[in-house]
Structures are given as C-alpha cells and as structure tokens.
Structure 1
Amino acid sequence: MTSPRTVAVLGSTGSIGTQALEVIARHPDRFRVTALAAGANLDLLAEQAVAFDVDLVALATGSAESVAEAIGAYAARAGRAAYRPEVVVGPEAAVLAAQAGADVVLNGITGSIGLRPTLAALAQGSVLALANKESLIVGGPLVKAVARPGQIVPVDSEHSAIAQSLRGGRAEEVSRLILTASGGPFRGRTRESLRAVTPAEALAHPNFSMGRVVTTNSATLVNKGLEVIEAHLLFDVPFDRIEVVVHPQQLIHSMVEFVDGSTIAQAGPPRMLVPIALGLSWPDRLGDVDVPVDWTRAQTWEFEPLDDEAFPAVRLARQVGLAAGTYPAVYNAANEVAVDAFHDGHLGFVDIVGTVERVVAEHGAADTGSETGALTVDEVMRADTWARARARKVLGLPATDDDPTLTGGPA
C-alpha cells in the first residue's frame, strides 16, 4: 500500500486553504497534513491543527505562547490534552513550514509575501501546488531557476485547466493558450460608466466569493492580467500567443488551441475544488471531488472579446510582462495600494488601473535585473516597497515608516 502524501498548507485559514483541508479530510488514505501556516486567524488555525494532528503550526503574528494556549484549549475539548505540535511565530513562519519537508506544499497565501515560501518549498524539493500567483509573477526568473521540470502544479482554475488540456498534445503542437474571464460584475459597461462604481458593487462578483483584493482585481480585470503573466511563465508560451476571452458562465475554465485547428477545453462548475484536488494529487485524479456539468440540461454558453478600452489592465500586464525584471512586482504592489485606496474612498474605480499605469511608467532606469535576468529576492522586495510608497505618494496618502526615499525609482 502506498504511503499517504504529506502536505503542508500555507494560508490554511483562507478560502483555498480551507477547501484544501476539506478535500484532504475526504481522502485520509491519500494525504496526511504535517504543517499548517496562517497569517492571523489563530482560533481557526488551532482548530485545524488539532483536527489534522499536524506536526508544525506556523503563525505570522502573535506569540508562541498564545498559539500554544489556543491549541491546548482545542486539544483539551477534543480529548487530546497531550497534543503538543511544534510552534513557530513571526514573519518567517510560513517559510519554515514550507521547508519542513512535506511531499506537497500548497501555497495559498495572498500577495507577494508568498515568494519566500514558494522558493523555500522548491529548494526543499517539495511539489509546489501554487495558488499564490503573485510569487511566480513578481519573482518569475527566481522561481523558474529553482524549480525542476514538473515541480510546480498550478492551482488557479485557469492554469489548472491549461495544464489538463496540455495533456492532449505535445508542446510543439500548441498554437495558443486561451484564458477565460467572467468579465466580472461590470461586463459590457463602458469606461465612462465605470467612474461611478462603488466598492460594494465591485465586490459583487457573479460567480465567486473571494477576498477584497482578489474580488476587486476580478472587477478591474487586473487578476486576468496577472494570470496572463503567470501563464507565460508556467507554460513558456510567448505573450502574443496568449489570448483572453470573456465567458460569463465560467464553465470552461480555459483552453488550448493546437496547430491543426483543434481546441481542447476543460469544463466544470465555477468552483475551485477540482484545481485544488489536482494540485494535491497531480498527476492523478481523486474520485468524487465535485459535481460535473449536467449535460442533460439545456444551457447557453457565451463568449465575447475583451474590451481593452474599458478594462486596460490586461493590456498593461502584457507590457509589464514583456518588460520583465521587477516590473511585475511594481504592477502588483501598486495595484494592492490602489485597491485599498479605492475601498477607503480615496479614488475612483477606473483610477485603480490608472494609478498602476502611472507607477509602472515611473519605474525606469533603476529597475534591477531587467536586462541581465540576474534578479534577487531583495531586489524584488525593494521594488515592491518602492511601488507601494510611490503609489501612496501619487494618491496623496500618508507615507509609512517603511517607505523609501522616492527619488529615481527603487533604492
């Protein structure tokens, strides 16, 4: 009998992490959770640790004493008072969990802070089930230099769909990758009409319930821009052979077009269970993960071209991806600041991408690694810090203690 795969779940209290643990709980013969990492949700983390009997518990904030106390309380209620996992706390906690030696590390952390855990998991030799797209986007050359062939399994539904579809042909037979987009809550709207969009409207995604940043990114289509960069890095396909098409129903998650004119598409409900399960079990499939499409029911599937004028984020992402170096980190960081400013009432919806474009344009000669490709983690994080500070200055927001001197690009 094959031993269960050991799994470390980073971002275990978020949407991806909790769904991953649900999948694992339904297949106890296939997986054993050995490490969990979270940002701040101590209560849920402690509950998960006891439920899955993990060896290592990692929390980004708080104290080791508070984590041990919370775990002890849940363990006592579960009749397991003797349970005492190893506890690590602090900004490097997720890195320690990532390099603990699990067969599979699921990185479900949100944001560029997922880069160091991604690199740690790859260096350790673990299979990386990657839901943290930002770590690949901002640190593309770094990640690709460390990863061995097949070591990264994409968990984003679009990239999982492409990985599945690519099984239908050889790399040299691929003509185009076609990423599908729901179009978000504002599909069909003109750019002018988007000026009055409220934060509440931007969070009303038609198909998914996600966090504030990701849901807003879906409304601006910044998320799709990030996915274009991610597809380029994952599958080594040039940007001019990666297309985006609007598919409101989101039943086709993405497609691969081959040189003979055939197209293979991956279809399923607009949920994340299958991509998460495949990230854990790749290349095998688990049974009864989700309910398939009901092909006996009459239904209409729509496809529309992307409106680049109303939603310029994808076009800007292509430019950023071609520029490479630390430009993707600047795009991502400036956007996160702009999204927060939008929700705090400091700028309008269409000005989110406008702010990102301005910060990207100011990121010039001081960009490190863009010509040689000799990027380092420190350079990426300096560019991230510079972009956040520059975006705050552009928006007239107060500086923070971490802001660098804003002269001539990142220090």
Structure 2
Amino acid sequence: MSSIVEMTSQRETQTKLKHPIHVTSEIGTLRTVLLKRPGKEVENLIPEYLQRLLFDDIPYLPIIQREHDYFAETLKNRGIEVLYLEKLVVETLSNPEIKRQFVDDILRESKANINGAREVLKEYLLSFSTADMVDKVMSGILKREIEESKKTHLYELMEDHYPFYLDPMPNLYFTRDPAASIGNGLSINRMREPARRRESLFMEYIMKLHPRFAGYNVPVWLDRNYEFSIEGGDELVLSDEVVAIGVSARTSARAIERLALNLFKKQDSFKKVVAVEIPKCRAFMHLDTVFTMVDYDKFTIHPEIQSPQGKMNIYILEKGLDDEHVNITHRTNLQETLKEVLGLNELILIPCGGGDEIAASREQWNDGSNTLAISPGVVVTYDRNYISNDLLRQHGMEVIEILSSELSRGRGGPRCMSMPIVREDLYK
C-alpha cells in the first residue's frame, strides 16, 4: 500500500510542477534522478591509459554493477523515480535520421576523422541496433574490432599502437557533471578534460529530442558550446534564490560569470551566485567533493579547503545595471557568507572525518563529503566513511549507507553519481 501512495504522491508532484526539470534546492525531497549503470566502458580501462581517462584504478565490473544496483534500489525504495542515461539515449535515437546525425556528431567530437577511419566507423556503428550502438559508443571501439581489409593506413596495421578508435567513457556513471539542473532549466556543460567532453552531447540530444523533455522549451542557462569549462559537481542549488558554484580545477571563473548573467537575464527567481574558490588539485576535484548541503542549516566540509584562520576566497555575484554586467562583492568566511545569503542566524559546518588530520584526508579521498541529500536531514553516503557518517548522525541526520568498495575507485560519491531532475520545493 505504501508504494502505491508514494507513486501517487510522485505523480501529483510532477503534475503540480508542470516542468520536466525542477530543482530549487540541494535538499528538497528528491523525486526523479538520472543515473548511469557502469558498463563495458569500465572494463576497457587499462593501466597504460588510466591518466588519460581520469581514473586512478580499475574497478571490477561485476562488483561495481552490483554496488550501483544497490544504490539505485536504495533510491527506489524511498519512492524516487530512477531514470537511466543509457535508456534515455536509446529512446531519443529511435528515429533513423536522428540516429545517423548522432553518429556524425559523436564521431566528429571523438576526432575519429584524424586517422582516416571516420566513414568505416560510421558504417560499423550504424550496423548495430540502437541499443547496441549506444553501448558501443559509451564503451569504446577497439581497433581490433574493425576488419583488417578496411584498414588503409600503415599505423592501423602495426601492432604497437593505441588500441582504440573511439575512447571508452568510464566516467559516465558520474551523471552529475555533464549537466546540472537549476530551477526549471539546466546547464549543459563544456567539460574541462577531453576524456569527458563528449558526455554532455548525450544530454543535449535528450533535452532537445526525447519525448519526456522535448516540447517543454526547457531553458538552457549555459550550453556545451561555451568556450570555458564548467562541471556539475561544482554547481550547488542552495535555495530558490541562491546558487553556489566552485571555482575549481574543472570550472572556470569565466563560465561562472556567464552562467550568472544568463540566469539573471532569463528568469526571476535566482538572485545570487556564490563563487567559492577551492584548491585546484586532484583530491579536490569539484566543490561537492569538499562541501555539500545536508539540511536547512547543516553542511559537510573538508577543513583543508580553508586557511588555518578559516578564510577562503568567496565572491557574491548579483544582477548588474544591464544584462552584460554583474555586481561582485568579496567575502572571506564561508560560514558567515552562507548565513548571509540563506538568511540564517545559525549554521553548522560538519567536518569530514571529524577534522582529524588522517581521517579527514582519507575519508575526503573516499568522498566522505560527497553526500546526496534525498530530503532535509536524510543523506546517502558511502559506507566506508564511518567517521564522517557517525558525525552526521550525531548532528541528527539520517544516514543511508551504500556499498562502495568498487564505486569509490572512480573518485566520486553518491552526489557525483546522481543528477537530480525533480525535487520538491522547500517550505519557507
């Protein structure tokens, strides 16, 4: 009976919202989320090219799939609708003309024409069913898959060469980064690293052509053709008026300012964009690897992003005199800035690993600060971060732990692995 009630509530919420995308906070009850189940692309990781594909280790596919399925079931058991990226892409490409256009686009962005194999690869991809073709694009095309008679260049015939025509996309299960829901629209992002840049092409096609989203004129606050990079792990919707964005190794200040300008120009709700500078290093990849919102007045934080005096570089962007300018003011204290922009008298920053020098560093590396709030005060976390999880519980949080031995090898936690599509609004 409870599942029927949850499904009815979900349908009523979506009908009330009347938008296929609706996210006005980090903590509003999650109703619909986008995931990607790890697939063959993970098995196409090899030691020689880990750095190129942005991995530090090679996950074991059967176990990472089992752990991801556990994550998905955990969300479903809470009444959350789970959409899968791979399924949406297949449904989007059901029209043969669209399928051919997609193949042209993916080959162009994969720079497949550099080695003269573009037409051969196009023929090869179009020989598959749509589902198998999507799987092949995501998992990569090995040079050994193409018949020897179709290889016309010397370096293709030699044994000692790079093994892929089309690189695999092992980072796809981090659905947070290629696009980010903000209000009733989204940013479709230009990814910083070449290994990930193709990923947002899937979201562009889905938003334009999938029946669930096409026809709703979903606003795109910043598109993937913008020249400066931004990634969803740096984009946090703190309220229906405030967005926080990390200035990180993956997200540029220029992109943040352009996104702010577009938000202020095209909608009336969001009033402030808070740019938070974090150290530009592998461990602190995105803002959400060191800072997430878990309740109305509670946030997780990795202490090392602040100076010993607790200072940081923080900038508040607000609408300027015209559509091409923003007003920018500087702050140095994160806690006080959050209280200011959210209108709070008190606010708690919960330190990853309890702030202990060793535990904090270890658990941050394992995404102890990368929590996914599914409603106010209820978060999904990795089970391995037991010190951080215990501290969250001490602060009154409900902590739902998921398995993480293989998922964590990709350097991303529950928030990284999920793109919220619909959240309920918070009551003021």
TM-score bracket, normalised by the shorter chain, equals under 0.3
TM-score by length of 2: 0.27
- Which structure has more relative contact order (CA 8 Å, sep 6+)? It is 2
TM-score by length of 1: 0.28
